[in-house]
Amino acid sequence: MKICMIGTGYVGLVSGTCFADLGNKVFCVDKDKIKINKLKNIISPIYEPGLDDLIRNNVRAKRLNFTNDLEKAVKESQIIFICVGTPTKKGSNMVDLSQVFNVAKSISKYIKNYKIIVNKSTVPVSTGDQIEKIILKKVKRSLFDVISNPEFLREGDAIRDFKYPDRIVIGSDNKKVFKKMQLLYEPLIKKGAKFFSTSRKGAELVKYASNAFLATKITFINEIANLCENTGINVEDISVGMGSDARIGGRFLRAGPAYGGSCFPKDTKGLISIADKFKTNLSIVKSVIKSNQNRKVLLTKRIAKIMNNKIKNKKITILGVTFKANTDDMRESSSLVLIPYLLKRGGVVKYHDPSGFKKEFKKNKNLKFERILSKACLGADLIIINTEWDEFKSIDFKKVVKKENFKIYDMRNLYNPEEMRKKKIKYFSIGR
Ligand code: UDX
């Protein structure tokens, strides 16, 4: 099939490249000329394992095209995906839909024969109706359908998540469209993905409800971890004990720092704002947002306790500053609260991250980026493991720190407390 992805962020670029890999002819469109030029030269604007190779192969096979020419891409495609950003409006929970509506307006100028317009951007319930209204100003009703097809891609695992999804959700009020979408996704359905069709509004809500539920699951286990710390119980036993119940499921029950990233914080707020609009009180989601915000502060207090309240002039090394491993994304990362706190208390802080230097910390004095892991750890009084990159999982701490009496705060529970005790390393972790 010939398809067009508008927006080359995480969602559009990964989905477009993967659709090309399934044999479709794909146009990835973006108004950012620099980005498109880079992509034409196989330089990906995002860090996503495996993506560069996949882009290269599909560009060479002439299935994947990058362009600024929206008109040509729309005219040549049967299916048009909207994959632009839907950030939170500053100072509120509301979703900024201006990019989605601008795209709807732009494509409406070029629709001359039947097109399926698929909204993949995460949008509040009934946004599909608004997109339809905008397009109807220029295009006859019979020439298009607006449907919803939310994405469930995790950064760092996005290609795998695209190729082996648990489910493909299509929301449309015109049943004829389901067949065409089923055909597009056939290679994935054959591998076992569930094809689930619902109303357009239903699909819009599935996305928000899924992310809010996962955020709730993480927040729940994080609060249970607090209880475990006060009762001498190992939270991992609770995760396994609970998660073995098929009704609960073991995934997303890893206690750790506050959840971050571009989706959970934004989508929980977005869901609250939709519920407000429809006069519904989602008290659980509200509590989750609050608990997660509190967690950032709670863990800084825990660090102060580990350091016996002596942070001034202490050498502190942070391993991993992004919101999780295998991404370079800093959005809503708990390190954005943690590092300023340590600096304010007079700590001498270094950070190491496999995804490199972070512009977010450019202005911070007393903070140094260290490219080499062993150098970052040398002479540290405290090492904080903030993300779960593989290279952080088997560090010989005594060998790299080269000093007595250092402490480790492992916020991802990567090490075994018993083994650390045997090695006589002062080791602290989450919920155990
Ligand atoms: C998420 C959703 O998983 C994905 O389906 C959606 O489409 C986009 O948002 P992503 O933001 O890439 O994906 O990250 P994810 O792997 O879900 O992790 C989100 C946050 O939760 C991270 O801060 C992560 O460290 C944290 N997390 C996740 C935990 O603390 N414990 C867990 O068990 C799982």
The string of pLDDT tens digits covering residues 315-332 is 999 999 999 999 999 999
C-alpha 208 to ligand 1 mean position (Å):
13
Is the model's pLDDT at 352 over the cut of 90? yes
The string of pLDDT tens digits covering residues 98-118 is 999 999 999 999 999 999 999
The string of pLDDT tens digits covering residues 380-410 is 999 999 999 999 999 999 999 999 999 999 9
Give pTM, 2 decimals.
0.96
Axis-axis angle for helices 283-306, 335-344 (nearest 10)? 40
The string of pLDDT tens digits covering residues 235-283 is 999 999 999 999 999 999 999 999 999 999 999 999 999 999 999 999 9
Closest C-alpha residue for ligand 1 atom 16 = 154
Closest C-alpha residue for ligand 1 atom 26 = 259
* Residue 69's pLDDT band (cuts 50, 70, 90): very high
- Ligand 1 atom nearest to CA at 333: 23
The confidence score (pLDDT) of residue 179 equals 97
The confidence score (pLDDT) of residue 366 equals 85
C-alpha 332 to ligand 1 mean position (Å):
12
Is the model's pLDDT at 365 over the cut of 90? no
C-alpha 386 to ligand 1 mean position (Å):
14
d(CA 284, CA 288) in angstroms, rounded, equals 6
Helix (H, G, I), strand (E, B) or coil at 408: strand
Closest C-alpha residue for ligand 1 atom 2 = 154
C-alpha 316 to ligand 1 mean position (Å):
26
- Ligand 1 atom nearest to CA at 323: 23
The string of pLDDT tens digits covering residues 291-303 is 999 999 999 999 9
d(CA 343, CA 308) in angstroms, rounded, equals 17
All domains in the chain, ordered by first residue: 2-198 (3.40.50.720), 208-293 (1.10.1040.10), 295-429 (3.40.50.720)
* Residue 427's pLDDT band (cuts 50, 70, 90): very high
Is the model's pLDDT at 70 over the cut of 90? yes
- Token output for 327: 């991404």
The residues carrying an active-site annotation are 263
Helix (H, G, I), strand (E, B) or coil at 88: strand
Residues with CB under 6 A from ligand 1: 151-155, 211, 214, 218, 252-254, 256, 259-261, 263-264, 323-324
* Averaged confidence pLDDT in the chain: 97
